[in-house]
Chain A
Amino acid sequence: MPLSQQQRAATIREILATKQKLIDRIDTDMDNLDDQLQALDDKVAAGETLTEAETRQRQIFNDSLNTLQVNAQRIELMTLERLDNSAAVAGVSSEINQANQELTQVQQQIKNLTDTINQLNDFLKGVTSLLTSLTGLLATLAVA
């Protein structure tokens, strides 16, 4: 059974909201790790040399950032895939196609109307021709 418009919109929004929660958490973690990296960068920029522990720490932060980046990308792509195959997308697609089919029918109806108007004009031209003949006949009779 096709989803109603409300169900469709709710499904789309639910999928996106779930993804956004996960993504927000990952992006917050990435920002926090970046703060730590920034502190180390500031030390280096001030001309200080990082200790061995700090250098190791920097490597760990970088590796963690790479992992978070890959995971975030995975979640983003999976969500779109899920959405693309959802009944909500199928519903939107089917409704637009149906609307387009109706538009094609409307175009045909308007064409039919144009044809009808043209037929009416043809009829009027026939009437004109008949009137002209009648005029000629009456004129002949009047002379006679």
Chain B
Amino acid sequence: MRCVFRSVFVACALVLLAACSTTDFAQPIKDFSTAAKKAQTDFTGYAGTLEKLKGEQNVNDVADDPDLLKVDGCKLRVKPARCVLLVRGEALKPQYLVHTGQIMTAIVTYSDDLTAIASADDIGQLKTASDAIPGAVNGLASAVDAFSAQQHRPTNLSAQVAAISTPAGEILTIALTKIAEYEKLKALREATARMDAIFPDAMLLMANVAITNQNISNRTLFRNYEAARAAYSAAAGPVKNKLKERPKPGAPQQQQDAYNKELADLQSTLRNALNSYNTAAQGLDAGLKNPSQAAFTALADSHAALVRALEMPEPDFKTVFAKLQEFAQITATVAADVKKIDDALNPKTKT
């Protein structure tokens, strides 16, 4: 028994070492995991678009120089059995950013692992420490006292044991649970501290995929904007000239009516051109703000905040939650800007 009680006191000492519990971090870590999955969805979208562009570029290259196209395999009896059209040694429609994609997948696995450690119900699976122990010890002490009395050697073990044994089961349960919590927190601290050294590089890569996608889109938006501006100028010039031809007061009604109709037609064309010009300007505006990159830098920030919070003896949840909220806001902005960009890139789909 002495051994057991010693364990309890050692456990209590360990409890004092862990100033916070993993259950406190379960929610921020779960939120981080959600953010990582959102980032993966974004990444897959960007990589898919770039892969498509790369394929189109290869097709255009062959259109400019048909000698670039080579055939790999495509024979019935020649091994290895395959049939691929190649441009400069790569597939005409290539798989793009395979390795960077693997990093994104590994980050999602990492966030899942953190969640598993922080919120897994291993602790829940702990069996309740035997509450019967104090009762059994008390019963034994009473029996010893009774037996001693029979032997005319009176003892008072029940009074001595009652003082220490009553809370034993409770202390043991809490202490053992806290040992497991302490180990979990230690594991989370070590894991996030290690990833802290890798995470900025990983997010730099992801952000660059987003930036590349955005840069390419922006140049298309820029060209659309120029075309819309030219169309607007072409519509504005005739209106300006027509306004100079306004009939003088007292001119024949027929002449005024003809003028007004011609002016109205030109102004209608100008209004349509102005609306297209504005849509193109809004699309370019959204593109130039480059919101896609921000999603990955925000994820990097939220991870850094998580690391810092886990390292603190007293956790700073305000920082973690503020970063996560910032991420959520950026995601919302991205969604709004993507709509503007989409309208500007696909003016025909606009209703």
The residue in chain A whose Cβ has the minimal distance to the Cβ of B97 is A84
Is A77's beta carbon under 8 Å from chain B? yes
The residue in chain A whose Cβ has the minimal distance to the Cβ of B197 is A5
Is A54's beta carbon under 8 Å from chain B? no
Is B317's beta carbon under 8 Å from chain A? no
A45→B237 contact, CB < 8 A: yes
B interface residues, how many (CB within 8 angstroms):
84
The residue in chain B whose Cβ has the minimal distance to the Cβ of A86 is B99
Question: Which residues of the partner chain A approach B238 to less than 8 Å between Cβ atoms?
Answer: 47
The answer for the CA separation of A16 and B114 in the assembled complex, in Å, is: 31
Picked from B172, B220, B229, the residue with its CB within 8 Å of the CB of A38 is B229
Question: Which residues of the partner chain B approach A92 to less than 8 Å between Cβ atoms?
Answer: 103, 198, 201-202, 205
> Given that A106-B191, A110-B122, A135-B143 are known contacts, is A77 also in contact with B113, CB under 8 Å in the complex?
no
B219→A107 contact, CB < 8 A: no
> Given that A106-B191, A132-B139 are known contacts, is A113 also in contact with B179, CB under 8 Å in the complex?
yes
Question: Which residues of the partner chain B approach A90 to less than 8 Å between Cβ atoms?
Answer: 99
The residue in chain A whose Cβ has the minimal distance to the Cβ of B202 is A92
B102→A138 contact, CB < 8 A: no
Shortest CB distance A41–B (Å): 4
A106→B117 contact, CB < 8 A: yes
B180→A117 contact, CB < 8 A: yes
A135→B140 contact, CB < 8 A: yes
- Chain A binding surface SS class: helix
The answer for the CA separation of A76 and B209 in the assembled complex, in Å, is: 9
Is B25's beta carbon under 8 Å from chain A? no
State which size class the interface on A falls in. 35 or more
> Given that A46-B237, A96-B202, A110-B180 are known contacts, is A127 also in contact with B133, CB under 8 Å in the complex?
yes
The answer for the CA separation of A92 and B176 in the assembled complex, in Å, is: 38
B126→A118 contact, CB < 8 A: yes
Is A120's beta carbon under 8 Å from chain B? yes
* A:21-70 near B, CB below 8 Å: 23, 30, 34, 37-38, 41-42, 44-48, 65-66, 69-70
The answer for the CA separation of A39 and B66 in the assembled complex, in Å, is: 39
Binds A, one of B144-152, B300-308, B333-341: B144-152
B183→A77 contact, CB < 8 A: no
> Given that A12-B204, A80-B209, A141-B147 are known contacts, is A135 also in contact with B139, CB under 8 Å in the complex?
yes
B133→A124 contact, CB < 8 A: yes
A99→B212 contact, CB < 8 A: no
The residue in chain B whose Cβ has the minimal distance to the Cβ of A62 is B226
Picked from A99, A127, A139, the residue with its CB within 8 Å of the CB of B110 is A99
The residue in chain A whose Cβ has the minimal distance to the Cβ of B7 is A120
Is B346's beta carbon under 8 Å from chain A? no
Binds A, one of B49-57, B247-255, B321-329: B49-57
Residues of A within 8 A of B (CB): 5, 8-9, 12-13, 16, 23, 30, 34, 37-38, 41-42, 44-48, 65-66, 69-70, 72-74, 76-77, 79-81, 83-85, 88-90, 92-93, 95-97, 99-100, 102-104, 106-107, 109-111, 113-114, 117-118, 120-122, 124-125, 127-128, 131-132, 134-136, 138-139, 141-142
29 contacts between A and B (CB under 8 A): A8-B201, A9-B200, A47-B241, A65-B226, A69-B219, A69-B223, A76-B215, A80-B209, A81-B54, A84-B96, A84-B98, A96-B107, A97-B106, A99-B110, A99-B198, A102-B191, A102-B194, A114-B122, A117-B179, A118-B126, A118-B127, A121-B129, A121-B130, A128-B136, A131-B133, A134-B140, A135-B136, A139-B147, A142-B150
Given A107-B120, A135-B136, 16 other A-B contacts at CB below 8 A?
A13-B204, A45-B237, A73-B219, A83-B208, A84-B100, A89-B100, A92-B205, A102-B191, A107-B113, A107-B116, A107-B117, A114-B126, A117-B176, A134-B143, A135-B139, A139-B146
Residues of B within 8 A of A (CB): 1, 4, 7, 50, 53-54, 57, 60, 96-100, 102-103, 106-107, 109-110, 113-114, 116-117, 120, 122-123, 125-130, 132-133, 136-137, 139-140, 142-144, 146-147, 149-150, 172, 176, 179-180, 183-184, 187, 190-191, 194-195, 197-198, 200-202, 204-205, 208-209, 212, 215-216, 219-220, 222-223, 226, 229-230, 232-234, 236-238, 240-241, 244
